[in-house]
């Protein structure tokens, strides 16, 4: 019955190719694509070159797809399960302008759906984007570095971070300039015993 409804709706309202890929994907499909790697000192989980991964990122970022968020969260769970440290996740923030336009932070939507991850381990208010920046995807590598320079600032830090691992999370890493800028803003404010790492869902 559900498949019939989908066919009727698809006929009346043609769907995006990326939406179709996400609709038919399973948790097992996504977990089979997870490959722990690193780029520019950032841990990565999935290859953005894969059509399903691109579809998941696209549908989450631009269409707030709950299915895409769930599947990306299950990919992130595989990393979380292998890191038993006391972890605090900090999503890379959007500018106030972009947050208002989009209505959500695409990294936070994924973090909220990671199975078994307590909500208190996700801190949205640690970093802010202190100024609006152009979309990194529209810029050259040199321009990206300048675009995000000094674009982040520390807003609030909990008092009990000693000995914990702080994980800065973004959905996609390309040149690594955004991660580097966010890390440079946050690192000086952390206790010496705090470990700071960066993690991207895809590269």
**CATH code assigned at 29:** 3.40.50
What per-residue confidence (pLDDT) applies to 16? 95
Distance CA 163, CA 85 (A): 9
pTM recorded for the entire structure: 0.87
Instruction: Summarize pLDDT for 96-108 with one digit per residue, the tens.
Output: 888 999 999 999 9
Q: At what angle do helices 17-24 and 66-81 cross, to 10 degrees?
A: 50
pLDDT above 70 for 3: no
Distance CA 181, CA 151 (A): 7
Q: Based on the structure, what is the number of domains in the chain?
A: 1
Residue 148 in any domain: the answer is: yes
Residue 100 in any domain: the answer is: yes
What per-residue confidence (pLDDT) applies to 160? 84
Residue 3 in any domain: the answer is: no
What per-residue confidence (pLDDT) applies to 83? 85
Once rounded to an integer, what is the mean pLDDT over residues 36-64?
A: 97
Q: Of 87 and 3, which is predicted with more confidence?
A: 87
Cβ–Cβ < 8 Å for 134, 57: no
Cβ–Cβ < 8 Å for 30, 185: no
Residue 110 in any domain: the answer is: yes
Residue 72 in any domain: the answer is: yes
Cβ–Cβ < 8 Å for 150, 117: no
**Domain span including residue 100:** 15-202
Instruction: Summarize pLDDT for 111-150 with one digit per residue, the tens.
Output: 999 999 999 999 999 999 887 666 666 666 666 656 677 8
Q: How many CB atoms lie within 10 A of CB 142?
A: 10
Asked whether the CA dihedral 83, 89, 92, 94 is positive or negative, the reply is positive
Q: Which of 20-24, 157-161, 185-189, 191-195 has the lowest mean pLDDT?
A: 157-161
Once rounded to an integer, what is the mean pLDDT over residues 184-201?
A: 95
Residue 134 in any domain: the answer is: yes
Residue 7 in any domain: the answer is: no
Whole-number mean pLDDT of the chain? 89
Once rounded to an integer, what is the mean pLDDT over residues 77-94?
A: 91
pLDDT band at 181 (very low <50, low <70, confident <90, very high): very high
What per-residue confidence (pLDDT) applies to 135? 66
For the chain, where are the E strands, in sequence order?
37-39, 42-46, 87-91, 127-129, 152-154, 165-172, 195-202
Asked whether the CA dihedral 164, 169, 173, 178 is positive or negative, the reply is negative
Q: Of 10 and 150, which is predicted with more confidence?
A: 150
Where helices occur in 149-191 by DSSP H, the ranges are 177-186
What per-residue confidence (pLDDT) applies to 90? 97
Residue 66 in any domain: the answer is: yes
Distance CA 136, CA 180 (A): 13
What per-residue confidence (pLDDT) applies to 145? 54
């Amino acid at each position: 019955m559900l498949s019939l409804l989908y066919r009727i709706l698809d006929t009346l309202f043609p769907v995006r190719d990326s939406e179709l890929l996400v609709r038919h994907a399973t948790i097992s499909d996504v977990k089979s694509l997870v490959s722990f790697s690193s780029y520019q000192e950032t841990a990565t989980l999935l290859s953005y070159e894969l059509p399903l991964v691109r579809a998941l990122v696209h549908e989450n970022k631009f269409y707030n797809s709950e299915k895409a968020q769930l599947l990306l969260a299950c990919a992130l769970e595989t990393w979380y399960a292998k890191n038993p440290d006391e972890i605090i996740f900090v999503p890379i923030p959007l500018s106030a302008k972009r947050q208002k336009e989009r209505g959500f932070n695409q990294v936070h939507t994924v973090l909220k759906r990671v199975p078994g991850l307590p909500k208190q381990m996700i801190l949205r208010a640690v970093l802010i984007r202190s100024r609006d920046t152009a979309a990194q995807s529209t810029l050259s590598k040199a321009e990206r570095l300048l675009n995000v320079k000094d674009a982040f600032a520390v807003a609030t830090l909990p008092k009990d971070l000693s000995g914990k691992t702080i994980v800065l999370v973004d959905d996609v890493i390309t040149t690594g300039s955004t991660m580097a800028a966010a890390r440079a803003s946050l690192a000086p404010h952390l206790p010496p015993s705090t470990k700071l790492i960066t993690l991207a869902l895809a590269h």
